[in-house]
Amino acid sequence: MNSILCIGAGYVGGPTMAVIADQCPHLRVCVVDINADRISAWNSDSLPIYEPELDEVVKRTRGRNLFFSTDIDGEIRKADIIFVSVNTPTKTFGHGAGMASDLQYWEKTARQILANSDRSKIIVEKSTLPVRTAAAMERILNSGENGIQFQVLSNPEFLAEGTAIQDLINPDRVLIGGQETEQGRNAVQALVDIYANWVADEKILRTNVWSAELSKLAANAFLAQRISSINAISALCEATEADVDEVSRAIGLDSRIGPKFLKASVGFGGSCFKKDILNLVYLCGHYGLKEVADYWHQVVAMNDFQTDRFVDNILKQMFNTVAGKKITLFGFAFKANTGDTRESPAIKVAKNLLTEQACVWVSDPKALNNAKQDLRDLAVHLESDPYVAATGSHAIAVMTEWQTYRTLDYQRIYDSMEKPAFIFDGRNILNHRELFNLGFNVFPIGKPGLTHF
Ligand code: NAD
Ligand code: UGA
């Protein structure tokens, strides 16, 4: 049985390996991590991340051909193919701080692989990395004195949280970048052979390593750019009484534009869009392409503007003061169907409201544990029941597009709130006219507000 290892048991490593194990019962798949708590959670009934369908896939495979372990050295020795899916956050110190990727975790992993290998192996970059990282890694890996040669492939992951399992089972494409040498081509084929167990060959793209690395950054930049574009238009809609959902539908019907990723919001969150764009901006700067760097940087600047604008509007509509007023956030996850709160716009909204001395309550079906961490040391109330959270509030702000918020009893909520009652719909998921008729003052994104005064 061939042995596959994944270093990094996070949002990517865990689900990706669970699906590989599920689709390839003939392979032994192991996931390791330095975080022992995370590994024991993967081995328990309460997995460390919430992702639809993940529990079922892990239940089917764990102990059969999927294993979670902290024995990194031992598992490296056993493995034929090693995926590296460690975190690659934005650097917070030194050269490139706030922009470049912090590659310390990735480099430590490369050294650990080298120290524990007694035969050639294929190393697969799953983490999102700056272009040409594979070259640096290959230099480290092939610096050993025992003559072992490693092939480094780039196989970026395109799954989105909340739909990770379906994205992995039915990917739009699988991208594999390898060296254009005989060993490189053999390594690419070995990885193709794994995906070919469930992905059609025409969906498996083979490129050179640098194209694969850059395609990942470019894909995230293009996706985020669409959101910033529609959010920019939403600001103009509010100024002109146009309706951003109508504009979005009208332009999305142009088959050259397409309808996806044109939903105006309080801003995009998630661990990757901002980090990957800043990384792209840093790379462009490094190669002397200032105009290109400025162009992409504006996607992040527009996103910051959108979230700030949302809080400014709450303040403005609530008579320029929220001090002492209870404001309840419906949702804290960066998107629906995940408990992940990394870079969630709700964090900034909560903090800005606290700066204005509002009394902030947060409700979310899956993200309250992470919210507790994000807002530690701050006087915020966390409450899973949205009805309890809303009681006595002056305003509700919808931060996450959870299905459950569409179907609440808003009459009951209205009756329990202070008057005048406000709703700021940061996701445009509610029926605004109906809420207005109940008595709410309603402020969507990119549409005229509905007010009773
Ligand atoms: P994560 O923080 O959830 O998981 C990374 C894991 O790596 C952590 O559990 C950490 O303890 C572990 N780790 C760090 N250093 C290690 C080491 N030396 N040895 C063993 N384990 C180590 O991160 P994630 O969200 O899974 O993202 C991982 C990579 O995948 C990032 O580069 C990210 O950009 C990329 N990516 C993420 C997503 C997503 O939806 N989250 C999607 C596509 C790509
Ligand atoms: C994104 C990409 O979609 C994945 O392809 C990629 O693999 C991943 O980043 C990554 O590299 O980490 P993810 O961040 O999990 O996935 O989720 P998205 O569905 O892309 O949503 C990102 C943010 O944009 C969320 O806050 C979401 O609410 C927001 N969004 C999305 C909008 O505001 N409007 C939209 O139309 C779409």
Cα dihedral 160, 166, 168, 172 in deg (nearest 10): -80
pLDDT of residue 130: 87
pLDDT of residue 142: 87
Residue 265 CB–ligand 2 contact under 6 Å: yes
Give the distance (Å) from ligand 1 centre to CA of residue 351.
26
Give the distance (Å) from ligand 2 centre to CA of residue 160.
6
To which H or E segment does residue 60 belong?
Answer: helix 54-61
Residue 220 CB–ligand 2 contact under 6 Å: yes
pTM greater than the 0.95 cutoff: yes
237 annotated active-site: no
pLDDT in tens, 225-238: 999 999 999 999 99
- Number of other CB atoms surrounding residue 288 within 10 Å: 8
Structure tokens at 259: 């309808």
pLDDT of residue 100: 86
Residue 342 CB–ligand 2 contact under 6 Å: no
Structure tokens at 132: 């040409």
pLDDT of residue 137: 86
Residue 330, SS3 per DSSP: strand
**Ligand 1 probe mutation, 272, 277, 280, most atoms within 8 A of CB:** 272
Quick check: 195 and 226 in contact, CB under 8 A? no
8-state DSSP, 265: -
| Half-sphere CA count of 451, side-chain side, radius 13 A | 10
Q: Whose CA is nearest to atom 11 of ligand 1?
A: 35
pLDDT of residue 132: 84
- Number of other CB atoms surrounding residue 44 within 10 Å: 10
First to last CA, the chain: 71
Residue 261 CB–ligand 2 contact under 6 Å: yes
Structure tokens at 30: 């192991």
Q: Whose CA is nearest to atom 21 of ligand 1?
A: 33
Q: Which of 237, 272, 284, 359 is catalytic?
A: 272
Of the candidates 409, 417, 386, the one whose C-alpha atom is nearest the C-alpha of residue 399 is: 386
- Residues whose CB falls within 8 Å of the CB of residue 210, separated by 6 or more in sequence, listed in order: 131, 132, 134, 177
Indicate which atom in ligand 2 lies nearest the CA of residue 267. 33
pLDDT of residue 1: 58
Residue 386 CB–ligand 1 contact under 6 Å: no
Domains and CATH numbers, the chain: 3-199 (3.40.50.720), 307-444 (3.40.50.720)
Residue 101, SS3 per DSSP: strand
pLDDT of residue 147: 82
Given a cut of 70, the residues of the chain with pLDDT beneath it are: 1
pLDDT of residue 131: 84
- Number of other CB atoms surrounding residue 285 within 10 Å: 17
Residue 161 CB–ligand 1 contact under 6 Å: yes
Question: Residue 420: is the preceding peptide bond cis (ω within 30°)?
Answer: yes
